[in-house]
Structures are given as structure tokens and as C-alpha cells.
């Protein structure tokens, strides 16, 4: 079975909003993993979805839902003309909190924490670590976009060596002072977050 941390990193790479429907969270994580991520503030309640997948017709599309006075949720498919009751778990979402995740990762690797986005929501600085009495800047690459950012990463490495945490392969043309490391190799999810 894939580790919860690896699954979380894969979700971060493929879902720009970091959103997971409560109904599908068990497709990705065990209840214990969800509890650990919630305790570490990496997962928290997100905004309710405004639409859900239609299950009353053969077409793949989304329909809006309405809350009834009795507390139930109802959706109507105009294409098939059918009503469908919707479970609360189909509407509710969990959100992956990227800064809480990066704080936990920085703590797990013993970094002096300084979290800030460098390139949009893809490349983040998370701090500085000391390895064999030499400081290294620590970055986190969220998506499989290292080739797009390699010139920038190489330029940063001219002042201080860089370690890039990413589950994705390193780009071609990586400078000698840049190291790509898969964080799942030495960090794991524990009761207090990443360890």
C-alpha cells in the first residue's frame, strides 16, 4: 500500500486547490491517516462543493444541489429530468493546507523554517538546513515542473547549495549544487504530523 505521505504529495501535485471530497477521502487514506493529517492541521474542512456529479442520467456532467428545509440535500438533472438525493459527504470537502504541510516537513527535516512561495503555487522555499556544517536552502516542488524552473533553481544555488524536496524526478541540466530528494524516503506521518 502506498504511504499516506506519498498519496498526499501526489494529490498536491495533481489538484491545484488541494481539495478532496469527504465521500472520496477513504479512496486515498485510512481513517488513521486522516486523523493524523487533521491533528497536524494538514487537512481541514474546506468549502462545500457547489455542484456534484450527476448520477441520474448517462451523461457525465455536474448539477447544482439545494438544501431542503428538513436538512436533506437534493439535486435535479435538467438533462434527464430526475431528482437525486445527495449525501452530506458528497458536498463537504477536506482541504490540504500547503503551509501546514510545509511547516511539518521543515520540522521533520530539522530546517530553520521560512516558508514562502517562490514560483506561483509550484515552488516553495521552506527554510535552511545544516548538513555537514554547511547550510543548504530547502525548497519544495509541488508539481512535476522542475524542467520549467531549473534555470531559477540553478541561479539560486550560486549563493547557497539547494535541496529540492519533490516526488518528481529532477530536471535535465541540474547544477552541481542542487540535490533533488524524495521526502517519502525519510519522513513519515506520525501522530503529530510528519516525523
DSSP state of 72: -
Q: Nearest to residue 114, comparing CAs of 77, 93, 140, 132?
A: 140
| Strand-pair partners of 178 | 162
CB-based contact 139:146 (threshold 8 Å) = no
By CB atoms closer than 10 A (0-12, 13-18, 19+), residue 18 is buried
Count H helices and E strands in the chain, helices first: 6, 14
Would the pLDDT of 102 be above 60?
yes
* pLDDT, position 193: 60
Give, rounded to a whole angstrom, the gap between the first and last alpha carbons of the chain: 19
Cα 86 to chain centroid, rounded: 26
CB-based contact 8:37 (threshold 8 Å) = yes
Would the pLDDT of 192 be above 80?
no
158-181 confidence digits (pLDDT tens): 999 999 999 999 989 999 999 999
Cα 60 to chain centroid, rounded: 26
Cα–Cα distance list, 158 to 60, 154, 176 (Å): 50, 7, 10
Output the pTM of the full model.
0.82
Distance between CA atoms of residues 82 and 56, nearest Å: 6
* pLDDT, position 124: 96
Amino acid at each position: 500500500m502506498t504511504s499516506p505521505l506519498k498519496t498526499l504529495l501526489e494529490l498536491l501535485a495533481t489538484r491545484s486547490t488541494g481539495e478532496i471530497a469527504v465521500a472520496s477521502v477513504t479512496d486515498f487514506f485510512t481513517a488513521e491517516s486522516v486523523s493524523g493529517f487533521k491533528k497536524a492541521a494538514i487537512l481541514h474542512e474546506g468549502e462545500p462543493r457547489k455542484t456534484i456529479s450527476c448520477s441520474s442520467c448517462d451523461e457525465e456532467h455536474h448539477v447544482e444541489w439545494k438544501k431542503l428545509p428538513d436538512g436533506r440535500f437534493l439535486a435535479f438533472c435538467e438533462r434527464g429530468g430526475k431528482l437525486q438525493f445527495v449525501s452530506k459527504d458528497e458536498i463537504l470537502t477536506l482541504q490540504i493546507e500547503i503551509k501546514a504541510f510545509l511547516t511539518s516537513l521543515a520540522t521533520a527535516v530539522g530546517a530553520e523554517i521560512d516558508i514562502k512561495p517562490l514560483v506561483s503555487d509550484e515552488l516553495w522555499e521552506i527554510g535552511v538546513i545544516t548538513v555537514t556544517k554547511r547550510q543548504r536552502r530547502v525548497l519544495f516542488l509541488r508539481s512535476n515542473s522542475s524542467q520549467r524552473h531549473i534555470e531559477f533553481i540553478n541561479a539560486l544555488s550560486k549563493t547557497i547549495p539547494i535541496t529540492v524536496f519533490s516526488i518528481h524526478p529532477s530536471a535535465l541540466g541540474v547544477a552541481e549544487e542542487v540535490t533533488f530528494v524524495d521526502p517519502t524516503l525519510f519522513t513519515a506521518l506520525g501522530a503529530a504530523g510528519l516525523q
